[in-house]
């Protein structure tokens, strides 16, 4: 292990970099400062190429810029910045030093720094979304689809307020997350696709470009088109902030779905419930002092990451406000947005791994389901009585449950002693009667619904996730 990594301050750059090296490598490829400089270079290249296409400069000049851009390193840029105290000017100088004199004027020609930076950010977020986030989330979605299908018919008590309510199936419970995650992935893909670039100059009015072109907005479209981007409808020095605001909202609200699943799993792993459990490596230590512990620490970790990154949305909302044609108070803060993407990628990776190997204890589910000795029959009983015209079915059944609870006997038994209910019960259909006899069957269309949801998202998954080119 590289010793310098432990000299870093951010856990993203030491602990979480060390914990999953392939993911760390992949994230670095898109989210590191090195990567960001490379995205900026792409924008400078597209600019000069468009100038050449319009005849403003020679194709040789554009070619020289392309070659220079491939060679520039962030270290060089940072060294130059020591002098200029301006990061994009430093980048421009680094390119200029590597091109023939006649090409130099066309580097960054008519552009302002934020044309480069905002466009590079859009490229960066789109790339990390397409190449890292959606594939990682896709693996998670697949794990949940597989789990929901496998457990589609496994009865589990439904819990509301932490109390036993009426049955569902475990697959149905997991299908909730399939549906919610799938929907969020679509939102994330849409928000990433809607990110915009700009090439509209220092105050967004194309002041410089208009000196050379009668149609500087068409010129902007050409530059951005080479990068697969569109401009916003209006820009100041910067792209209108709502595109990125929506994008981070998509990240953060997707994170919430992961955190909710993690929370459910860690509660289902409680010693008294024990319906699910994280797979446990035989060598693994649960506690430094309690050798018997098996903690849901991965699920806890995901919840903890959510708590870390979710509040950062506030920064993004604050950054919607920029004075006049722009103040710079979003400059440092926007540099930290990459961390949110990294956090979500980490959480998705961790959760996918644990979901794939989740231990499900169907026996425990059955045992818990039986725990209230048929008290869950209260709901169908009340509704069936009501449907047969009982004038006050809810209140009648509520009293029966108190009686059952008081005497410690199954509710169905208590019911049969109440002769006044006989006439109603006699009119039940066989299927209805069966539900009362075996309340565990009272799971509605849980299994069917789970399978439908899985089918739908299995179909959409391929569209959502493009296989990443590498890593």
Comparison of 226 and 456: residue with beta carbon closer to a second copy: 456
Give, as ranges, the residues between 412 and 441 that touch a second copy (CB under 8 A).
431-432, 435
- Distance in angstroms (rounded) separating the CA atoms of residues 244 and 247: 5
Q: Which are the contacts of 301, defined by CB distance < 8 A and separation ≥ 6?
A: 262, 347, 350
Provide the phi-psi class of 274: left if phi over 0, else alpha when psi is between -120 and 50, else beta: left
Comparison of 192 and 259: residue with beta carbon closer to a second copy: 259
Give, as ranges, the residues between 366 and 385 that touch a second copy (CB under 8 A).
368, 371-372, 375-376, 378-380, 382-384
CB contact at 8 A, 77 and 69: no
- Distance in angstroms (rounded) separating the CA atoms of residues 343 and 313: 13
Which of 59, 60, 311, 357 is the binder for a second copy (CB under 8 A)? Answer: 311
467 lies in the binding site for a second copy (CB under 8 A): no
Which of 294, 353, 409, 460 is the binder for a second copy (CB under 8 A)? Answer: 294
Report DSSP state, residue 161.
T
Which of 59, 190, 317, 438 is the binder for a second copy (CB under 8 A)? Answer: 317
Give, as ranges, the residues between 118 and 147 that touch a second copy (CB under 8 A).
none
Cβ 302 to a second copy, closest distance in Å? 9
Give, as ranges, the residues between 442 and 461 that touch a second copy (CB under 8 A).
442-446, 449, 453, 456
- Distance in angstroms (rounded) separating the CA atoms of residues 160 and 153: 20
Comparison of 331 and 458: residue with beta carbon closer to a second copy: 331
Query: Could you give the residue numbers annotated as active site?
Result: 161, 287
Which of 287, 362, 407, 416 is the binder for a second copy (CB under 8 A)? Answer: 287
Comparison of 25 and 462: residue with beta carbon closer to a second copy: 25
333 lies in the binding site for a second copy (CB under 8 A): yes
Cβ 125 to a second copy, closest distance in Å? 14
Q: Environment class of residue 89 by beta-carbon count within 10 Å: exposed (0-12), middle (13-18) or buried (19+)?
A: middle
Cβ 7 to a second copy, closest distance in Å? 5
CB contact at 8 A, 237 and 81: no
Comparison of 308 and 458: residue with beta carbon closer to a second copy: 308
Report DSSP state, residue 283.
T
59 lies in the binding site for a second copy (CB under 8 A): no
Which of 293, 357, 418, 455 is the binder for a second copy (CB under 8 A)? Answer: 293
26 lies in the binding site for a second copy (CB under 8 A): no
Give the count of residues interacting with a second copy (CB under 8 A). Answer: 203
The beta strand positions in 206-330, using DSSP E, are 230-231, 276-277
211 lies in the binding site for a second copy (CB under 8 A): yes
DSSP 70-123: HH--HHHHHHHHHHHS-HHHHHHHHHHTTS-GGGGGGTTTT--HHHHHHHHHHH
Comparison of 38 and 130: residue with beta carbon closer to a second copy: 38
Which of 22, 55, 289, 467 is the binder for a second copy (CB under 8 A)? Answer: 289
- Distance in angstroms (rounded) separating the CA atoms of residues 305 and 283: 25
113 lies in the binding site for a second copy (CB under 8 A): yes
- Distance in angstroms (rounded) separating the CA atoms of residues 193 and 330: 22
- Distance in angstroms (rounded) separating the CA atoms of residues 146 and 357: 11
Report DSSP state, residue 452.
H
Give, as ranges, the residues between 144 and 173 that touch a second copy (CB under 8 A).
157-169, 172-173
Q: Which stretch binds a second copy (CB under 8 A): 29-37, 64-72, 132-140, 354-362?
A: 29-37
Give, as ranges, the residues between 244 and 273 that touch a second copy (CB under 8 A).
245-246, 249, 252-253, 256-257, 259-260, 263-264, 266-273
SS (H, E, C) 315-379: HHHHCCCCCCCCCCCCHHHHHCHHHHHHHHHHHHHHHHHHHHCCEECHHHHHHHHCCCCCHHHHH
Provide the phi-psi class of 324: left if phi over 0, else alpha when psi is between -120 and 50, else beta: left
Comparison of 233 and 420: residue with beta carbon closer to a second copy: 233
Give, as ranges, the residues between 176 and 205 that touch a second copy (CB under 8 A).
176, 178-180, 183-184, 187, 201-205
């Amino acid at each position: 292990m590289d010793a310098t990594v432990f000299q870093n301050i951010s856990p993203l750059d030491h602990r979480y970099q060390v914990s999953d090296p392939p993911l760390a490598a992949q994230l670095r490829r898109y989210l590191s400062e090195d990567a960001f400089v490379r995205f900026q270079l792409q924008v400078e290249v597209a600019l000069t190429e468009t100038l050449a296409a319009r005849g403003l400069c020679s194709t040789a000049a554009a070619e020289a810029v392309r070659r220079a851009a491939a060679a520039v390193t962030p270290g060089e840029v940072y060294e130059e910045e020591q002098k200029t105290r301006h990061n994009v000017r430093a980048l421009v100088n680094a390119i200029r030093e590597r091109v023939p004199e006649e090409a130099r004027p066309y580097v960054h020609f008519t552009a302002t720094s934020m044309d480069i930076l905002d466009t590079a950010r859009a490229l960066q977020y789109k790339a990390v979304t397409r190449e890292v986030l959606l594939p990682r989330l896709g693996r998670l979605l697949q794990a949940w689809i597989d789990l929901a299908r496998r457990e589609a018919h496994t009865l589990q008590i439904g819990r509301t307020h932490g109390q036993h309510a009426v049955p569902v199936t475990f697959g149905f419970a997991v299908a909730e997350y399939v549906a919610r995650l799938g929907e969020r992935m679509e939102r994330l893909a849409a928000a990433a696709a809607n990110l915009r670039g700009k090439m509209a100059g220092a105050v967004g009015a194309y002041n410089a470009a208009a000196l050379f072109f009668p149609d500087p907005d068409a010129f902007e479209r050409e530059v951005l088109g080479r990068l697969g981007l569109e401009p916003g409808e209006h820009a100041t020095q910067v792209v209108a902030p709502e595109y990125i605001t929506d994008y981070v909202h998509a990240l953060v609200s997707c994170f919430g779905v992961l955190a909710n699943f993690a929370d459910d799993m860690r509660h289902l792993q409680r010693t008294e419930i024990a319906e699910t459990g994280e797979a446990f490596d035989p060598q693994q230590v649960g506690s430094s002092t309690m050798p018997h512990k098996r903690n849901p620490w991965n699920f806890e970790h995901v919840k903890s990451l959510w708590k870390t990154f979710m509040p950062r949305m506030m920064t993004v909302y604050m950054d919607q406000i920029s004075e006049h044609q722009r103040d710079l108070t979003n400059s440092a803060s926007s540099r930290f947005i990459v961390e949110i993407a990294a956090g979500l990628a980490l959480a998705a990776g961790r959760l996918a791994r644990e979901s794939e190997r989740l231990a499900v204890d169907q026996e425990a589910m059955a045992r818990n389901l039986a725990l209230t000795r048929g008290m869950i029959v209260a709901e169908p009983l009340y509704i069936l009585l009501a449907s047969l015209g009982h004038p006050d079915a809810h209140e009648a059944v509520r009293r029966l449950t108190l009686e059952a609870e008081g005497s410690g006997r199954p509710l169905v038994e208590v019911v049969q002693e109440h002769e006044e209910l006989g006439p109603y019960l006699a009119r039940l259909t066989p299927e209805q009667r069966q539900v009362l006899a075996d309340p565990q069957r009272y799971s509605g269309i849980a299994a069917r619904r789970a399978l439908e949801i899985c089918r739908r998202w299995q179909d959409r998954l391929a569209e959502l996730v493009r296989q990443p080119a590498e890593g």
